[in-house]
Amino acid sequence: MSAADKAEIEAFQRDVIEPSMNALVILDFWAEWCGPCKQLTPVLEKVAAAYANKGVVLAKVNVDESKFIASQFQVRSIPTVYALFQGRPVADLTQARTEGQLTKLLDQILRQLPIQSADDALGEDIAPLIEMGEEVLEGGDPERAISIFTQVLDMAPEDPAVVSGLARALLAAGRIEEAGAALDALPAEKAKDAGVARARAAIALAAEAGPVGETDALREKVAAAPEDQEARYELAGALMASGDRDGAADILLGSIELDREWNESAARKRLLTLFEATGLEDPWVSQQRRRLSAVLFG
């Protein structure tokens, strides 16, 4: 084996084999004179960048400069692209020439390999901090919860659980506009998260809710005219503003029972928003859903 061959092997060991021990390496055999290689390069680079946090890296081997390595992989035409894990080829990606084809293959491969992505590792690190923020918020200290979630946000600025927690903490502190802005900063694909939807529902309720402290007067108004749907709707909002979700649910269910179609089903819509703001997996929501079903279908 020549000195040049040994140098090739050492470089390949360093740049490809070692990274493949913990990551999926996209190995691209190419050459300067290869037109299809130049067309494929930006596709590979874009996909590799998008999948970097999932444990994917791109390595390129110039067949003119690394003839020994190319011969070991029996490269007969270029571009030739393999996926390597722990030093071994696990898939031939050569036929994947578009972003969609490549991502589909990578998704299939990653599901079968024990690769811990950067996102997974970060998720493990921040999970206890998110739990702490939620406990502090649940305990009634929104300002401290804001501080916790803000610090975690520096570590994971696009994590839906962090952003939704911060938004709900800001909302609990009466900072409605800031809460909405925090959610609006998320990328579109992250904004579909259930926790984000819960925070948006809470913001919507807060924007609609009546002022705190008017519940007594509104109760008297409803007692005097039980079929006054507008008064009932206002009372439900005031109860929500004061944190009395049980009372709000009772009033809204009563409104639905009186006239479910009133004001384009406004009472039912507000009740469903209350469910979403509370969290659809919450036992309280399950209990109230059963009550709603009894009213609608009983």
Q: Are 266 and 273 in contact (CB under 8 A)?
A: no
Q: Which of 34, 166, 171, 292 is catalytic?
A: 34
Q: Are 252 and 267 in contact (CB under 8 A)?
A: yes
Contacts of 200 (CB under 8 A, 6+ apart): 183
How far apart CA 184 and CA 190 sit, in angstroms, is: 10
Question: Scanning the structure block, which residue is given the tokens 């491969």?
Answer: 109
217 has catalytic annotation: no
Q: Which of 37, 171, 172, 231 is catalytic?
A: 37
Strands (E), the chain: 24-30, 56-62, 80-85, 88-92
How far apart CA 157 and CA 83 sit, in angstroms, is: 30
* Signed CA dihedral, 96, 98, 99, 104: sign only: negative
209 has catalytic annotation: no
The catalytic residue positions are 34, 37
